[in-house]
Structure 1
Amino acid sequence: MADPSERPPKRRRGLGIWFKIGFLVVAAAAGVWYVVANWDETGPALRQIGWGAALASVPPVVGAGIAGMLAWRRLLADLGHPLPVVAAGRVFYTSQLGKYLPGSVWTFLAQVELAKQLKVPRAVSFAVSVLALVLSLAVGLGIAVVLLPFGAGDALRQFWWLWLILPVLAAAIHPAVTTWGINLLFRILRRPPLTVRPSGRGMLAASGWQVLSWCLMGLHCFILVRAAGAEGWSILPLAVGGFTLAYCAGVLFVPAPAGVGVRELALGAALATAISPQAAAAVVLVSRLALAVVDMGMAALSIHRTRHHEEST
């Protein structure tokens, strides 16, 4: 007869699998709807930019996703719960589909629940999700601060004010500041504080991965901007800085799925300082399509790996 003490873990595992299946079905359906619902606008923009440039812009987005995952994994290891790369990718990429549901809570919830199946405490994975979000925003806005004033056209005069927030961004990624902020949030939620604080070395390593992620995202935008008619390398600072600023603005606007609307408006405004508004709109639409396709593709790959892993165990 089986030991009764073994039954609860099996039940929890079953519930975890049902959560995973339900989340994936709903989030994937939302992602597909996100692409299909905007195809009337995206189709003409894709023809204007060209399939060649659109496809060439995809590999940098894939690289950015890998770097972002490695930043999240490094933070998780810094708090005492290292994961193998494949397992970390399975959690990270699957949870990213939560961006296509209204509100930012779904990505957090998915990361917490999926990491729990890998024996990461919910409090730790939640703290890492918050850390990763703060780090991503701080690094992304920092890149925008540095690069946008040196962009093409009228960017220097239009974005000078970003320099004013640079000291705030630098403070936001200091381990003492982030630990205080997370413990304050835990106190509000009536949860115990972190027992392990992030280290300076861990934050620096994760910041390096995040810098690479944002730069690759900006390279994706640069490829599209060049295809839209911009000439020369002087447009590169504007493409990278404008994209990071726009994407961060979309993340900060919580109600919009994947930052839709806000991100496009901010990126279009930045790019319009160097190319025509019509060309900027085409870049925005094709970029949105490329990011959505990569998100769903990397999630599908992680699901395939998960299924293969479960069948072999």
Structure 2
Amino acid sequence: MTDSIAETPSNDNDLNQEQPPAKTTKAKLVDFARRALVVIVFAAAVYFIAVQWPQVQATVFALQWWQVLLSLLALIPGVLLGMFMWRVVMASLLRSVDIEPQGLVLNQIYLVGQIGKYLPGSVWAFVLQMELGRKNGIARAQVFVASLVSTGITIGAALVVGASALPILVQRQPNLQWLYVILPVVILAMNPNVVTFLVNIVLRVFRRPPLPERIQANTMVKAFILGVLMYLCFGLHLWILVGHEATLDLATFLVLTGALALGMTLGVLAFLLPAGVGAREAILILALAGMMSAGAATAIAALSRIMFTIADLLCVGIAFVHFRWRQQSVSKTPADSTAEAK
């Protein structure tokens, strides 16, 4: 899988001829480090599932098989919508510097990079995406900005979706009242002028040149809509999962979707934890407390976490198969054309 990620549109043979031996050795070491990082993050994701499995095993066997399957399938379009949201931002940034983005490459950069969140410290997702982007001819700064902006949009979408669950959560945990204050602030901060200003500050800190142009409003709107749709898919996953314990109605769907969105946002802010472990579960257990016992709520929250990890890995596999299929289709096209001509 890492071989397809490592591919770059540039001519590697020409580059190697132009570079001195010392540079080539350094490039090989960097490439090895990238591959090692990919292996480590995938191992971390698998280890995470193995560690959590004993806690949720009884809950899984208590559910109907179709519940588990449908709940997992609902996550896949959500993960892919998150990918498309990032692509919208990334494509806008690349076109601003006259680079036409390649969709299949961007898919793999995002999906494989996201597995990095299973290492302690969510910064690894950013690091892996930047390194994979650099390997494919995209500047690290561009990938970093795209990830930073899309994360901000994700938080904004989560707070809007989470408004449906906020009254119940605040009633059960008054310490969450600060979310009422941060919601309008985040919405205002999503103004393209404000986002561009904040991004340029970050770039200045890292001694990088500012954005060549203002982030477009239509980019922000498209990404925000995709973010909302992403959380609706995630909410559907949780809604199906609790069907054996709670009433499946619209009110329950809105509360669960809002709680999951807020929990994932707190997980992003808890960047020292692998994928925000603990922060998301605390919010979910709080929302599920009125629907089931504390033990069942804890098990459902943990099972949801495992299913998210499985969905992430499945989406990487889907992207890899799609990439290989497209490669084979392109390579066969010239031969087919020649055969038809004869």
- Shorter-chain TM-score above 0.5: yes
1:183 aligns with 2:183: no
Task: Tell me whether 1:23 sits opposite 2:37 in the alignment.
Answer: yes
Aligned residue runs from structure 1 range 147-186, under 5 A: 147-149=164-166, 154-155=168-169, 157-158=171-172, 161=177, 162-186=179-203
AA aligned opposite 2:42 = A
Paired position in structure 2 for 1:114: 132
Shift of 1:172: 2.1
**Equivalent position of 1:36 in the other structure:** 50
Q: Secondary structure at the match of 2:237?
A: helix
**DSSP 3-state at the match of 2:242:** helix
Q: Is the 8 A contact 1:16 1:114 kept in 2?
A: no
The Cα of 1:83 is off from its aligned counterpart by 2.5
How far residue 16 of structure 1 moved from its aligned partner, in angstroms, is 5.9
Q: CA deviation at 1:49?
A: 3.2
- Which of 138, 144, 147 is residue 129 of structure 1 equivalent to? 147
Structure 1 residue matching 2:132: 3-state secondary structure: helix
Partners of 1:304 and 1:22 in 2: how far apart? 21
Q: Higher mean Cα deviation, 126-135 or 41-50? A: 41-50
Q: Would the aligned equivalents of 2:169 and 2:286 in 1 still touch at CA under 8 Å?
A: no
Aligned-residue Cα RMSD (Å) equals: 2.7
Give the drift of 1:3: 6.7
Tell me if 1:94 matches 2:115.
no
Gaps of 5+ in 2: 1-12, 332-342
Report the secondary structure of 1:44's partner residue: helix
- What does 1:49-60 align with in structure 2 at a 5 Å threshold? 49-60=63-74
Deviations 1:271-296 (A, max 9, x none): 21333323322221221111111111
SS at match of 1:227: coil
Q: What amino acid is the match of 2:122?
A: S
TM-score by length of 2: 0.81
**1:293 equivalent in alignment to 2:307:** no
Question: Displacement, 1:155?
Answer: 4.9
Which secondary structure does the structure 1 equivalent of 2:19 belong to? helix
3-state SS, counterpart of residue 36 of structure 2: helix
Unaligned runs of 5+ in 1: none
The residue type paired with residue 180 of structure 1 is F
Q: Which residue of 2 aligns with 1:236?
A: 253
User: What is the rounded CA distance, in whole Å, between the counterparts of 1:119 and 1:305 in structure 2?
Assistant: 21
Aligned to 2:155, what secondary structure does the other structure show? helix
Given that residues 166 and 259 in structure 2 are in contact (C-alpha distance below 8 angstroms), is that contact kept between their aligned partners in structure 1?
A: no
8 A contact 2:239–2:248 mirrored in 1: no
Q: Which has the larger radius of gyration?
A: 2
Aligned residues: 308
Deviates more, 1:247-256 or 1:275-284: 275-284
SS at match of 2:243: helix
Aligned equivalents of 2:242, 2:283: Cα separation in 1: 15
After superposition, the Cα gap between the structure-2 partners of 1:276 and 1:233, relative to the gap in structure 1 and judged at 3 Å, is farther
How far apart are residue 82 of structure 1 and its match? 4.6
Judge conservation of contact 1:20–1:114 (CA < 8 Å) in 2. Answer: yes
Structure 1 residues 232-241 or 62-71, which shifts more?
232-241
- Give 3-state SS (helix, strand or coil) of 1:193's partner: coil
Which sits farther off after the overlay, 261-270 or 240-249?
261-270
SS in 1 for 2:120: coil
Of 202-211 and 265-274, the range deviating more from structure 2? 265-274
Quote the Cα distance in structure 1 between the aligned partners of 2:317 and 2:202: 33
Match of 1:263 in 2: 280
Quick check: 1:27–1:97 contact (8 Å CA) kept in 2?
yes
8 A Cα contact 2:241 2:300, kept in partner: yes
